[in-house]
Amino acid sequence: MEQVRFITAIVICFFLYLAWAYFFSPPPVPPPASKTAKMAQNAAGGAKAEPGGATAASGAPAAGTGTTALASAAAATPATAAPLAALPAPGRLITVETPLYTARFSSRGGTVTDFTLKKYRESTHPHSPAKEMIHLPEGDMTLGTSFTDGSVPELSTAMFTTDARDRVDVAGKPADVVFSWTSAKGLSVEKRYTFDPATYAFNLAVTVRNRSALPLTDCLALEIRSLQAANPSRYGFEGPEALVKEKLTEGKAAKLKKNGALTETGVIHWAGVTDRYFLCAVAPQSPQEASAVFSAQAMDKEDLVSVRYVNPRATIPPGAERTYGLRVFMGPKSMDALKAAGGRFQRALSFGMWAVIAKPLLLAMDAMYRVIPNYGLAIMLLTFIIKLIFWPLSAKSYKSMSAMKKLQPLMQEIRERYKDDKKRMNEEVFALYRTYKVNPMSGCLPILLQIPVFFALWRMLYGAIELRHAAFWGWINDLSEPDRLMPSLHVPFVEPSGIPILTLVMGVTMFIQQKMSPPPGDPTQARMMMALPIVFTFIFINLPSGLVLYWLVNNILSIAQQSYIQKKYK
C-alpha cells in the first residue's frame, strides 16, 4: 500500500507539472508578415540623401556616478514610451547586407527599421520570407537614443545625415555606417555602427559633442522595442529581459501593464527583448553600474514591450565630448551565435533550474547531429544513450516491479481476508515483503532519480532553436511544432488541425507499459493508473513533436527493458 501511495504521489506531481505546461502555454502566435513590401514602399517614398557628413568618433573619460543617481535617472523615464507611428517619413534608408542578415537603417533618429535573418524563415513553407527580427507598428523603429531628463528632447526624432551609400555590403572585413546630427543649440550626436560579417552582433558608438555654452548633465538611453503576443507562453519566458548582477531579470508584460515600468539598477551585462528562439539586446562594451527600464502597453491584440538601457549619469562640459560604447545583438539564441557575439549574451540561452543538465544534453544532441544530420534521429540516439546510462537503475526498478507482480495473488488474498482490519492488513503485507525480501521502495527511488534528467531534456527540447523548422521524416517537418497528418482534417480538441499520429502511438506505448506494471490493490487507484495513458495523450497532443518523439522512444525502450527483466526473473 505504501508503495502505491508513493508512486501515486509522484505521478500526480508529474501530471500537475505537465498540465501546467499544457494549459498555460498557448499555441505560438505567428509573427507578423514580412515587411519586405513595406520596406520597398518606404525606400521608394523616402527622402533623398541629405548633404553633410560625419566625423570619426573619439572617446573621453567617463564621469563617475552612483546607484542613487542611476535610480533617479531611471525614475524620470516615462513608464511607457509613446509609439512612433505618427512620425513623418523615415528619411533616407540605408541597407546593410552581411552573410547573416539584411538590416535597414533610417536617418530618422539613426535607428533600425528592419532586420531579417538570412538563415532562418518565418515558417516551413517553401516560399516563406526570411525571419524578421523587428516586429513593430507601422512607422515605429528600434535602437532609438534619448536623454532621460529631457535635456535634448528632439534627439529621438531628429533627422540625421550620413555619407553612407544606399547599400553597404559587409563581406570579408568590418564596415561602418555613420549618422550625425547637430541641434540648434550646438549639441552634436554621432551614431557609428560597425558591422562584422561573421556574427549577429554589431558595435554602436554614440558620441556626444557639447558645442554649446552650457554643460550637459544627463543619462543617455538606448531603447529596444518589439510587439509580442498578449498572452505569451508561460513555459518559457518571452518579453523584456536583462542580465543584472549575474542574474537574469524578467519583466512580464502583464505585470508591467498593471504596475507600470520596472527599473533594475546594478551592474548590467545586457538588456533586451527575447522570445522562444531569438534575442534583440544591447550591452555596454564593459559592464557597468547602469539601469534597465522595462515597460509594456497594450496594442489591439498584442503588447508593445520595450527595454531601455540607461547609461550612468555624466556631465559633458562645453567644448568636451563623450563616447558611449555599446554592442547590439539581433539573432538566434543558439550556443554558437551567442558565443560568437562575445560578452555575456550566452546567458540568454536559459533552461531555468535545469540548466546544469540541459546544456550538456544540448551539446550532446548537436554533436550527434553533426554525425547524423537529422535532429529526429539525434533525439532518438540521445534518448537511447540516456536510457543506457540509467540501465542499472531502471533494471533494479523493473526487477522490484516483477517481484511485486508475482506477489499480487498473495497480497490480494491478504486484503480480502483482512478487509475490515486495515491495521492487520498492513502488518501482513509488510510481513509478506520481509518473507520474500521485497523492498517496495526500490521500485520508486530509481525512477525518482531520473526525473531531473527528464525535465532537463524536456526544457532543452522545448527551447532549442536547432529544432525550429527541423524536419524528421514524412509528415513531421518541424520538430518544434505538434505533428499533424492530414492537416485539412478537423479533429476535436486538436489545434492546429490534423491527426496527431506520433502522439497517438505514444499513448499506445504508455498503455502497454502500464499493463506490464503490477496493478495497485485499490480498484480506484488501479482505474486511475490505467487512465493515465489517455490523460497524457491529451496533454501531449499540442506539444512539440520533438518532445513526443523523445517520450515515445523512451517508452519503447522501457517496454523492451521491462519485458527482458520480467522474462529473466520469471
**What b/e string do you get for 412-429 counting C-beta neighbours within 10 Å, with b at 16 or more?**
eebbeebeeeeeebeebb
Contacts of 333 (CB under 8 A, 6+ apart): 274, 277, 278, 279, 348, 349, 463, 465
Spell out the domains of the chain, with CATH numbers in brackets: 65-348 (2.70.98.90), 366-401+447-568 (no CATH)
Range scoring the smallest mean pLDDT among 12-26, 93-107, 541-555: 12-26
Cα separation values, 389 from 105, 386, 401, 510, Å: 52, 5, 20, 21
SS3 readout for 200-268: CEEEEEEEEEECCCCCEEECEEEEEEEEEECCCCCCCCCEEEEEECCEEEECCHHHHHHHCCEEEEEEE
190 grid coordinates:
554621432
Taking 70 as the threshold, does the pLDDT of residue 21 lie above it?
no
- Report the pLDDT averaged over residues 422-448: 73
Per-residue model confidence as pLDDT tens digits over 354-386: 888 888 999 999 999 999 999 999 999 999 998
Of 286-300, 346-360, 448-462, least confident by mean pLDDT is 448-462
Residue 29 confidence (pLDDT): 42
Tell me the C-alpha to C-alpha distance, in Å, between residue 401 and each of 337, 425, 510, 558.
47, 21, 16, 13
Q: Are the C-beta atoms of 521 and 412 separated by less than 8 Å?
A: yes
Task: For 256-275, write each residue's pLDDT tens digit.
Answer: 988 899 999 999 999 999 98
- Per-residue pLDDT tens over the stretch 180-193: 999 988 899 999 99
More confident residue, 88 or 128: 128
ω into residue 27 within 30 of 0, thus cis? no
Q: Give the model's confidence band at 161: pLDDT under 50 very low, under 70 low, under 90 confident, else very high.
A: very high
Whether pLDDT at 71 is above 50 = no
- Those residues with Cβ within 8 angstroms of residue 359's Cβ, 6 or more apart along the chain or in another chain: 349, 351, 460
Calculate what percentage of the chain has a pLDDT beyond 90.
Answer: 35
CA distance 540 to 500: 9
Q: Which of 55-69, 119-133, 322-336, 433-447 has the highest mean pLDDT?
A: 322-336
SS3 500: coil
Phi and psi at residue 382, to the nearest 5°: -65, -40
pLDDT, residue 543, reads 82
> Chain-wide mean pLDDT for the chain?
79
Q: What average pLDDT does range 34-57 have in this prediction?
A: 40
Residue 125's φ and ψ, nearest 5 degrees, are -60, 140
Percent of the chain residues past pLDDT 70, beyond the cut: 78
Look at 218-222, 442-446, 500-504 and tell me which has the smallest mean pLDDT: 442-446
Mean pLDDT of 239-243: 92
Confidence of residue 115 (pLDDT cuts 50, 70, 90): very high
pLDDT of residue 497: 74
> What pLDDT does residue 119 have?
93
Classify residue 208 by burial, with Cβ atoms within 10 Å: 0-12, 13-18, 19+: buried
**Which long-range contacts (C-beta less than 8 Å, at least 24 apart) are formed by 411-417?**
411/521, 412/521, 415/521
Q: Is 488 helix (H, G, I), strand (E, B) or coil?
A: coil
Helix then strand then coil, in percent of the chain rounded to 5, is 40, 25, 35
Contact 15, 535 (CB under 8 A): yes
Q: From residue 98, how far is each of 10, 118, 157, 361, 393 by CA, in Å?
A: 52, 9, 27, 32, 51
Mean pLDDT of 32-58: 40
pLDDT value, residue 27: 44
Q: What is the gyration radius of the CA atoms in the chain, in angstroms?
A: 29
Average pLDDT over residues 461-483: 87
User: 77: Cβ–Cβ under 8 A, 6 or more apart, which residues?
Assistant: 148, 221, 261, 263, 293, 308, 310
Residue closest to 462 by CA, chosen among 237, 273, 243: 237
pLDDT at 69: 45
Q: Can you give the pLDDT at residue 43?
A: 40
Residue 49's pLDDT band, with cuts at 50, 70 and 90, is: very low
Write out the H or E segment, with its range, that includes residue 398. helix 391-417
Instruction: For residue 325, name the pLDDT band (cuts at 50, 70, 90).
Output: very high
CA 4 to chain CA mean position, Å: 38
Instruction: Indicate the pLDDT class of residue 209, thresholds 50, 70 and 90.
Output: very high
Q: How far apart are the first and last CA of the chain?
A: 23
CA distances from 391 to 315, 364, 396, 556 (A): 65, 19, 9, 14
What per-residue confidence (pLDDT) applies to 558?
A: 85
Residue bearing the bigger pLDDT, 495 or 119: 119
pLDDT at 379: 92
pLDDT at 441: 63
Looking up cell 507562453 gives: 233
What is the band of 414 on the pLDDT scale with cuts at 50, 70, 90?
A: confident
pTM of the model: 0.77
> With contact defined as beta carbons under 8 Å apart, do 86 and 75 qualify?
no
The confidence score (pLDDT) of residue 524 equals: 61
More confidently predicted of 408 and 166: 166
* Angstrom distance (rounded) from CA 418 to CA 421: 5
Name the DSSP class of 102: E
